[in-house]
Structure formats: C-alpha cells, structure tokens
Structure 1
Amino acid sequence: MDKLLDQVKAVVVQAGAALHDEYTDTARPADKADMGRAGKRLDDLVTGILEPALAKIRPQARWIGDDQEMTELPPGEWWAVDPIEGGVNFVHGMDQWAVTVTLLRDNDPVLAVVHQPVGDRTWTAVRGGGSFLNGRPLTVSAKTDVGAAIVTTTQPRTLNRRFGDAVADLLDEVLLLRSTVPSTFPQLDVAEGHVDAYWQYECDLVGVAAGVLLVTEAGGVVTGLDGEPWRPGHPDILAGAPGVHEELLALLKNKDVR
C-alpha cells in the first residue's frame, strides 16, 4: 500500500501544479455563468491528468460518476476524485482549494491524498496506517466537553430550513459554530485537532471520502446521524473527536426532524 500511496501522491501533486498555474488571488468572477465556465475548464484540465494516470496505476479501480455521489457503490475498488475541491474559492481568488483522490474498496475508504498547492500541503492516509500532513502524524482533539467544542459545517443543497434550525439549536450548546466550503477542509481541521467536529446534511461521496479516512486514521469517529459508521449512500455525516462525538450525535439526532 505504501508504493500505491507514493504513486497516487505523485499524480495528485502533478495535477495540483497544473491547477496552480491557472490560479491568481486577484480572480473575481462576474456572475454564476462566469464561475461555471471557469469551473468546467479547470475540472477538465485536472481530470485529463488524473483519470489516465490513475487508470494506469490501478486498472481494476473504476471512476465514480456524478450519479453515484450519494449512493452505495457496487463491490470492488473505486476512485473518488474531486479535481478541484473548493472550486468556488479558487475562482474568487481564495486559497482554500485542493485536489483530492480517495480509493474505496467495497465501500470503505482505504487510501486518501489531499494536496493543497498553495502552501504545498499534502494530507495522506491509508487504512490502518495513520493520518499525516507533509509526513507529520495527525491526532484529533482531546476535548470531552461539548460546551468547549468548535464545530464546523457546510450548508446543504436543499435542506435550508432544517439546517437553519439545527444551527440555531447547536449555537446554544457548543462554544463556536462555523460554516464553510468545501467539506474537505473542515474535516482536515478535525483530523489535525484544530476543531472538534464536523457535520453535514446531504453530503456527497467525493466531497467527504478523503476526510472520512483522514479523521478516522487520526483517531476520530465518523458516523451518519443515525449513529451507524459512515458509508457511501449515507445522506449525512458527523466526524469528530471521540470525547465529543457521542454527545453531539445525540444533540443532532434530537434536533433532526426528517
């Protein structure tokens, strides 16, 4: 697995370099159409590097399509790839964007690489081998008091009222609640212990797969809001330090009205 990780990391860093060549912190899109055009061009650029390279590295692994991002996968190996995670940040000249690649085997993430070209930061994890940032091992927060917890989230696609109600209720319980885009970076913050938990409604597989592995390998707990271990097809996610996960799960389940 170490050899595979090195191969995937090299390809992801190469793709990130090509993306970085297109980046400027002065970018300011004029409208949604402008954002869409830029996003498609950048997706095509990075996918053109990653797809053939990953197919050569792991011919048996299939590529997750857009119609599979919120469903359970068939058995076997699959690549969950986001060519530009945080594209909305990229096109607005902000630096929180990355290239993410995760290998899933029978619906379990087993290898993940996240590369943020700005700052040259690379997060890696393999199942059973720990989580790392530029080779430094990561450990989740040791907090046990939800009242001292920093919790992050990402706004959902459609469930705005439900999301707003949950935010309002959690603000009474936790120290600080932040909403951010994209979903990978707050999960990285959980893995590094900068924040204590991350939760999201309507999560898509490509957006959370890398973070799931990085958090769990850093000692965290990742479930759906039903309390079951997170797997592709779960409509929501809660990733957190062990000392606060159970209580936060109870709070969110108590507030969650389906």
Structure 2
Amino acid sequence: MNALPDPRTVPADTTELEAVLERAVTVIETAGELLRKRYDTDARPGDLDEIVHAIHGNDEAILALVKQPLLDARPGSRWVEDELAGGALPAGEWWVVDTAEGNINHIHGMGEWAVTATLVRDNAPVLTVVHLPLVGDTYTALRGKGAFLDGVPLRPSAKTDLRAALVGTGQAKPGEDEEALRRMGATVTAMLLNALVVRVSVPATLQLIHVASGRMDAFWQFSDVRSGLLPGALLVSEAGGTVTDTRGEPWSPASDDFLAAAPGLHAQAVDALSDPR
C-alpha cells in the first residue's frame, strides 16, 4: 500500500517534467557547490544571534542561485517563500525548496545537510531533487517513474519484523508546541520498546533518503513542515515504500503527522505509534 495522493499516476506531461527535472538537478547541484564552499568544519557559533545570522546567510546565498532558474524551468509555477511553513497549498504548481536542509548542522560544522527542490502540483509532489554536496550524491524522483540515486533505482527495506528495524524521528523546527514535543517523546519510547534501534536526528530528508534506499526501515514526525517531508515522501513512495500519516491514512501536506516505512513494516509501525506508552 502507498497512500500518497495518486502515487502511481503518471502525469500527462511526463516528457516535459523529465526536462524540468534535468534542469532542476543542474540548478540544485550548482547551489550545492556554493553551500559546500560556505561549509567550515571548524564552525562553532557562540550564541543564538550568531546561529540566526549564519542560517540566514546560507539561505540568502543559495536562494539567489535557485529561485529564478527553477521558476523559469517550469513557467507558471509559483514559489513557497517560507520553507518552514506547513499545511495545504493553493491549487496549481509550487516549488517547495530548502536552500540548506539541515542548515543547523551545516553552521555547526557537521556533515548532515543538503539542498532540495520539489515541484508540487495540487498538493502532490511530482518531482524532487535532493543533493548532498559533501559526498556528491543526487537523489531524484518523478511521480510514476521511480526513485534514483545518481541514476540507480532505489528500493526500500525488505524487513517484516519491527523488532529488527532501524527507525528514526526528529524535531521538525525550533519552537514546536509542547504537545507535539511530548507526543514525540512518547512515541520514541514506544519505538524503543518495539524496534531494534531508534535514531533521533535532523534533518528529516536525510533520514528519509535512508528509508527510500533501504538503509533505514521507518521514519515518523509530528509536523507539517512541507520542505522537510515532501522530497522524502516522493522518494520513498517511488522507491516502493509506504507513506501515510501515523494512523495509516493517506498523507498530504495538510496532514498533522507523517510516517514513511518499508512496506513489510508499515502496519507494525502504525500499531506502535498509535498507542505510545
């Protein structure tokens, strides 16, 4: 089962979208090279003001490289200005871009960060690019055409026993409300009791590429931050994994929470998350 909206419906303009995807890969890889040049393994921001300044610096530098080229690649598309926003989008095509997915890691000299771009049509992701500049990996997906790492097809884990599973979650953004944080803590405990190992880290996209690739078995999050979930949702879905909310219902940007899992583990993950202790 795959519960993304119309997950295997090939868009009528697939040939056009393939060209858009090719252009988006070039744009995002170019942006990634700039972000790599801005990376410093010795970076140690000393206070909140330094953190905010560094984050905004990265965002502004990359935005200047990607916004207009991506809009030009898909005439008529629009741009989501707030990368931390959630909820349903208006009808039509929108670029949801994270100029530095894992920005907090980047500015602290850690290596888990990426540049991502997803084209969303009527609240369903239709194509995505995730580029990891430090290792040179580029993950891509086009709805109905599969998910790939540098041209090699992705496949999810074949596990069927949650007790053997490596699963993960993480904070979506600073300032989450207390209820969401307590719910996250309760489900971490539930998964610690049911799964083999639980990772808690950021950003979401870098855990979701592991789920799409079969290196991890499930990821869940109590958030509707679109930019952190849409790229991985399409990659996992197109790889053959299952994407729903934590109750097993179809997921969209309007959903309150998120679950992506290997198909043989999805039902067990839903059960574990539905009654956290």
AA partner of residue 87 (structure 1)? N
Letter in 2 for 1:255: P
Q: CA RMSD in A?
A: 1.4
Find out whether 1:91 has 2:107 as its counterpart.
yes
From 208, 218, 240, the counterpart of 2:229? 208
Listed one character per residue, the Cα deviations across residues 81-104 of structure 1 (whole Å, up to 9, x for unaligned) are 000000011001111111000001
TM-score with structure 2 setting the length: 0.89
CA distance in 2: counterparts of 1:131 and 1:71, whole angstroms: 25
1:117-160 CA deviation, whole Å, 9 max, x = no partner?
Answer: 10111100100111111111110000000111111101352322
Query: Which residue is equivalent to 1:187?
Result: 208
Give the counterpart of 1:43 among 22, 38, 59.
Answer: 59
For structure 1, list consecutive stretches of 5 or more residues without a partner in the other structure.
none
> Structure with the greater relative contact order (CA < 8 A, sep ≥ 6): 1 or 2?
2
Alignment correspondent of 1:218: 239
Residue 59, structure 1, aligned to residue 80, structure 2? no
2:224 and 2:253 in contact (8 A); partners too? no
Deviation at 1:28, TM superposition (A): 1.1
Residue in structure 2 matching 1:117, options 111, 130, 133 = 133
Contact 1:70 1:234 in 2 (8 A): no
The one of 142, 161, 184 equivalent to 2:182 is 161
Kept after mapping to 2: 8 A contact 1:123/1:133: yes
1:196 maps to 217
For 1:244, the aligned partner's letter is L
SS, match of residue 69 in structure 1: coil
Q: Give the TM-score taking structure 1 as reference length.
A: 0.96
Alignment size in residue pairs: 256
CA distance in 1, matches of 2:30, 2:54: 20
Q: Give the share of equivalent positions with the same residue, in percent.
A: 43
Q: Which runs of 5+ in 2 are unaligned?
A: 1-16
* Letter matched to residue 126 of structure 1: L
Counterpart-to-counterpart distance in 2, 1:14 and 1:105: 25
**Residue 19 of structure 1 pairs with residue 40 of structure 2:** no
Distance 2:136 2:188 in 1: 33
Q: Distance in 1 between matches of 2:53 and 2:248?
A: 39
Per-residue CA distance 1:21-68 (angstroms, 9 max, x = gap): 111111111112111101101100111111111111112111113298
Q: Do 2:87 and 2:224's aligned partners in 1 also have CA atoms closer than 8 Å?
A: no
Partner residue in 2 for 1:229:
250
